[in-house]
Amino acid sequence: MQPRSLVTGGAGFLGSHLCEYLLNKGHYVIAMDNLITGNIGNIEHLQGENFRFIKHDVTDYIFIAGAVDYVWHFASPASPLDYLQLPIHTLKVGAMGTHKALGLAMEKSASFLLASTSEVYGDPLQHPQEESYWGNVNPVGPRGVYDEAKRFAEAMTMAYHRYQKVNTHIVRIFNTYGPRMRPSDGRAIPTFIPQALRNEPLTIFGDGSQTRSFCYVEDLIEGIYRLMMSDYHDPVNIGNPHEMTIKEMAQMVIKLSGSQSSLVAEPLPVNDPKVRQPNTTLAKKLLNWEAKVPIEDGLKRTIDYYKKLFAE
């Protein structure tokens, strides 16, 4: 029988890449999105007999006719710009949306995967971050709407696993980049590349010494798929442990794009994490997975995507 997958947030950056991956694996794919931050253009090329799009807000009851084998819950604003502009919806999709998606998985006896985030670690006091670390989060700060929404979503997912016997999985996604990130996304790479292509100053916050670990989207989706197909239920970090400063990333974008841009500094946002690096030992051991795409190669592919986007 052909497996049937529901991907909430299916028109978003990660969701659209997941839909494409699942189609290539032979799944029938239903993408669900309310298009608040998603883009129908991300999935237009997927239209066919094995793909269906439903415009729907997952905070409302989810109805899907027929069997569903896998529920991949990716619906949520994900960039600081988005969740600071949509704080209530971010909290609702983390709580009510996760509740509705888990309810569907329980009804259909489907396997469930929650797209959680490294933001559950907050501004970490442990470095690198491993799954057993409980985090350092300000629940009432401006970033708390996203951090706590995902922490609550993890708690609800584990409750459904423990008490309703749903086959659940939790991936903690670290910084990811690649084609289909919106130029207005607000995160580092989709901000830097358009600025560089226009030869404008690249905006860094603070002195740019804060670190991130950037994983190419192709690698991330492979790890997520392996996690869903495993029999492991606790959270798993998926990301690239290669750590670099934001300033180093900006300089690399300038070099690879052939830009004449300089750097300009702005004040550091409230509760902005100073470091971010995944401990991926568990993913290597459990899933035989590790990031493979070198940062230079991934950036070149992403720069090419934006060049084509701006040429249209």
8 A C-beta contact, residue 62 and residue 104: yes
Distance set, CA 312 to CA 178, 192, 305 (Å) = 18, 20, 11
Sign of dihedral through CA atoms 49, 227, 294, 200?
positive
Tokens 């901000």 belong to residue: 191
What 3-state DSSP class applies to 212? strand
- Can you spell out the DSSP letters for 39-52? -GGGTGGG-BTTEE
Strand locations in the chain (E): 4-8, 28-33, 51-55, 70-73, 111-117, 168-173, 176-177, 202-205, 211-213, 215-216, 235-238, 243-245, 263-266
8 A C-beta contact, residue 206 and residue 265: yes
Catalytic residue among 146, 160, 216, 225: 146
8 A C-beta contact, residue 109 and residue 66: no
Tokens 């269906």 belong to residue: 52
146 is catalytic: yes
User: Residues with catalytic annotation?
Assistant: 146
